[in-house]
Structure 1
Amino acid sequence: MTRWVTAAMTMLLFVLGGPGGASAQPMPAQFPVSGAQRVNPDTQLVIEFASPPMIGSMGQVRVFDADTGALVDALDLSIPAGPDPARIRRDGGRDTTVYQRKTIGGVPGFHFHPVIVRGNRATIHLHQPLAYGRRYRVEVDPGVLTVPDGSFDGIKGSGWTFATRAAPPPAGRTRYVVASDGRGDFNTVQGALDFVPAVPRRPVTIFIRNGNYEEIVFARRKSNLILRGESRDGVVVGYGNNSAFNPPEAGVPNRRPAFSIADSTDIQLSTFTINNYYIGQAEALLITGARNILDRMTLNGSGDALQLRGPTYLTGLKLTGHGDTILSVGPAFFDQCEIRSIGPFNWVRNPATNHGHVFRQCTFIGIDEPLPWTRRPDGSGQKVRQVIARLPDNKGINYPHAEIVLINTRMDGIAPEGWGPVQEDGATFSRANVRFWEFGSTDLEGRPIDMSKRHEIVRELKLPQDAKSIADYSNPAFVLGGWSPKVR
């Protein structure tokens, strides 16, 4: 958005103030700029100040139809965004507090922040996109945002107006562009996902230009779709979300990830970054369905940072998490990926009917730091052992067909036993069919790992006797139920 900020700042208005004369007080820049035409209806509203503003706890942001005077949307800052993301209710009580809520991807009830401040910029997130072909007027009460010198007195009257595009982009296209500065078909990733058909006749690409997209993204029942970033580090999609801020509700999809693609087929995500800015159970990405591909993606989450269900192929992935970093029922094939974790890298829960996780030529790096939610002001906190996977009792449930196979992986910072804890054999669980296998594991310098110290459940594959198993598990189609993935 640098260009619009620069342009707007050259058109600053000045107001009179101060005793005994006029003192120049710059009005904050706005996006869309007042008077703008052809604005995308999914735009966020941005106010750029000369110094960092503070979010208030009173007042409203109101959007009116400029022609009819009808109130289109209102955000009340006296309503809290959501439950405290640092606290999870464990007393069994029901939270009756009224929080901010909005519908995302057709699913109602997401808690969200109506205003987010980053540096000098305040971004206002409306409940829903605006309409095409309308003129709008925005009012901001003084209590919504404050600045240290007290110079911001809100936005009133006709001080902020703009008009949206006359019509949406043509349906049936195979490529749409998302650009946060308004120079594309949509300003937000969610806006583009909401627009494209669920089952397009031809593959559709959503191309995301470099920029920062702070939004919860949720889509489901999509197919034949590619989301491609302009550059891996230049496109950042993220939000602060977790199981405390958006707790589970019966009959409602999981709303705690920053980015979700649910119950979808033939989806490919390529070359951009997804961040979850909260800690706890806080996925960067949840993707479920069949025949889905992650291509050179960067994911930064916390606990359960990546959650998968259904055949998924991942290549060139860079993933960072804080324990049980990959939570999945499989099958998933990881090819030349790098995973960093505080605590266990995997908790796999595949049934007997499909494979689990296979890692070919991947790198595991254990992070020797306290779990973030235990960290004290002095930096100390609870540390856990970095292991490839664990398989503990899960409230009376376990996964006797859990499968993780490592083929020619490199690792650093991993505990000598490498795996565990694993539940002991018992009346409801047997280790007999668990497959925790390794072949060719080395440190980062290529020196073989000392397998004699591995957990007793681990099997080391060796040549020539295990040549067939090594070849099978090196083949994505074998792992993914016959699907041979092709990156587009």
Structure 2
Amino acid sequence: MRRRTFLGMSSGLGIVATGVLPGPASASARAKKPDLIVAADGSGDHTGIQAAIDAAPAGSTTPYVIGVQPGTYSGQVIVPATKPFLELRGLGRRPEHVVIADDRANGTLKPDGTPWGTSGSASVTVSGADFRAVNLTLANLFDEAAHPEITNRQAVAVLTRADRLVFDRVRFLGNQDTLYVNSTAAGVVNRVYLRDCYVEGDVDFIFGRATAVFDRCRIHSLNRGSTPNGYVTAPSTDITNPYGLLFAHCRFTSDAPAGTVFLGRPWHPSNDPNAIGQTIIRESWIGAHIPDVAWSDFGTWPWEDARFFEYRNTGPGALRSENRPQLTREQAAEYTIGAFLRGADGWRPDRC
């Protein structure tokens, strides 16, 4: 497993990582006191995250807040579709003070001897609509080096498959397939908003068919010591959905050598021809790890047929050439945070 070494405080897992700067909690996080407290030392209502979720009421129409005291909480977490409006709120001073983690991969075997698969590997699965996570870390700690017998190493930290989800000052840690933003079915639009977050990984570590907006986030590519060193995104946006992955005012960083990481490649699950992935990166800073040819084919699927665009990016990796499709000013006016999130219900979590 490649060791993560970023400036910041220890998470208590032998990993030093941050990437999210301290700052005031959002207005929504200040508005309501926790309904339940999770504390590993037994001083709260529950000692585990899943136990607190199980105790939360089903069918809520208003936020139900689970406060999590600083500590490391191991084990798979599932937020079912029957429990909308849940919020997990880290009560530490910084996101790294609350860590929710598991360590299974696609090829890790279940008790019945069958593999978990990519979706089943997720440390946290969110199927409840209007979920919110604030000020914490969500990680998949699968150790690739310790398990050479496992060749299917996709290890998801978070899988989303619900609408109107918010992640505010959250760290997502993993290697391959860290953050899986999905929907309940092809053609179904599920929206995710991520503000001031940190996402790290190496291969396809932000992927799926959801509409997801990354607002002022840091996107960090790990150095896996190979060429190519990895791919940041692998969108599988359905052709009927005009909005896929949007990165606005973000920072793309890496310790990998210059020119060894691709911004993305088009994922066609089960060779679905209607999965015409979209990644748009606008007004962001891009490091030197991104080469002139910033996008890659995925098997027989050429990147030129996907919806990959940039707009007014800066930094040593923000090159301008025929290999880097750019939005026009008119197109940029259409592909905004508001356009991606608004939908028919006028949802605008970025204004909260």
TM-score by length of 2: 0.74
Cross-structure match for 1:391: 266
The residue type equivalent to 1:385 in the other structure is: T
- The alpha carbon displacement at 1:283 in A equals 0.9
Change (3 A) 1:479 1:469: farther
Cross-structure match for 1:440: 312
Cross-structure match for 1:229: 90
Cross-structure match for 1:212: 72
Deviates more, 1:389-398 or 1:203-212: 389-398
8 A contact 2:211–2:340 mirrored in 1: no
2:325 maps to 1:459? yes
8 A contact 1:207–1:229 mirrored in 2: yes
8 A contact 1:391–1:398 mirrored in 2: no
Deviations 1:414-444 (A, max 9, x none): 122111125667xxx8955x3211111111x
2:129 maps to 1:260? no
Cross-structure match for 1:93: none
* CA distance in 1: counterparts of 2:340 and 2:69, whole angstroms: 36
Aligned-residue CA RMSD (Å): 3.1
SS of residue in 2 equivalent to 1:271: strand
Which residue among 139, 159, 181 is the counterpart of 1:275?
Answer: 139
Cross-structure match for 2:106: 243
2:199 maps to 1:335? no
* CA distance in 2: counterparts of 1:193 and 1:253, whole angstroms: 23
Deviations 1:396-415 (A, max 9, x none): 44555221111101111112
Cross-structure match for 1:294: 167
8 A contact 1:239–1:258 mirrored in 2: yes
Which residue among 430, 449, 455 is the counterpart of 2:318?
Answer: 449
* CA distance in 1: counterparts of 2:303 and 2:295, whole angstroms: 17
* CA distance in 1: counterparts of 2:168 and 2:270, whole angstroms: 35
Q: Tell which structure's C-alpha radius of gyration is larger.
A: 1
Change (3 A) 1:440 1:214: same
The residue type equivalent to 1:305 in the other structure is: T
Aligned length: 291
Cross-structure match for 1:6: none
8 A contact 2:239–2:274 mirrored in 1: no
The residue type equivalent to 1:313 in the other structure is: Y
Cross-structure match for 1:419: 295
Cross-structure match for 2:205: 325
Q: Which gives a bigger RCO, structure 1 or 2 (Cα 8 Å, sep 6+)?
A: 2
8 A contact 2:86–2:132 mirrored in 1: yes
* CA distance in 2: counterparts of 1:451 and 1:384, whole angstroms: 14
Change (3 A) 1:421 1:366: farther
Matching of residues 25-424 of structure 1 within 5 Å: 175-221=35-81, 222-231=83-92, 232-246=95-109, 254-262=119-127, 264-278=128-142, 279=144, 280-309=153-182, 310-342=190-222, 343-354=230-241, 355-368=243-256, 385-391=260-266, 396-398=271-273, 401-412=276-287, 413-421=289-297
Cross-structure match for 1:486: 349
SS of residue in 2 equivalent to 1:304: coil
The residue type equivalent to 1:261 in the other structure is: V
* CA distance in 2: counterparts of 1:256 and 1:268, whole angstroms: 21
The residue type equivalent to 2:106 in the other structure is: S
Give me the identity figure in percent. 24
The residue type equivalent to 1:271 in the other structure is: N
* CA distance in 2: counterparts of 1:392 and 1:401, whole angstroms: 8
Which residue among 315, 326, 337 is the counterpart of 1:475?
Answer: 337
SS of residue in 2 equivalent to 1:459: coil
8 A contact 1:328–1:348 mirrored in 2: yes
Change (3 A) 1:246 1:206: farther
8 A contact 1:302–1:323 mirrored in 2: yes
Structure 1, gaps ≥5 residues long: 1-84, 86-117, 120-172, 370-382
The residue type equivalent to 1:366 in the other structure is: S
Structure 2, gaps ≥5 residues long: 2-12, 15-32, 145-152, 183-189, 223-229
* CA distance in 1: counterparts of 2:108 and 2:311, whole angstroms: 41
Change (3 A) 1:430 1:322: closer
- The alpha carbon displacement at 1:245 in A equals 1.7
Change (3 A) 1:338 1:313: same
* CA distance in 2: counterparts of 1:430 and 1:421, whole angstroms: 5
SS of residue in 1 equivalent to 2:50: helix
8 A contact 2:292–2:317 mirrored in 1: no
Deviations 1:216-246 (A, max 9, x none): 2122112011111013121111121111224
- The alpha carbon displacement at 1:209 in A equals 0.7
Cross-structure match for 1:68: none
- The alpha carbon displacement at 1:174 in A equals 6.3
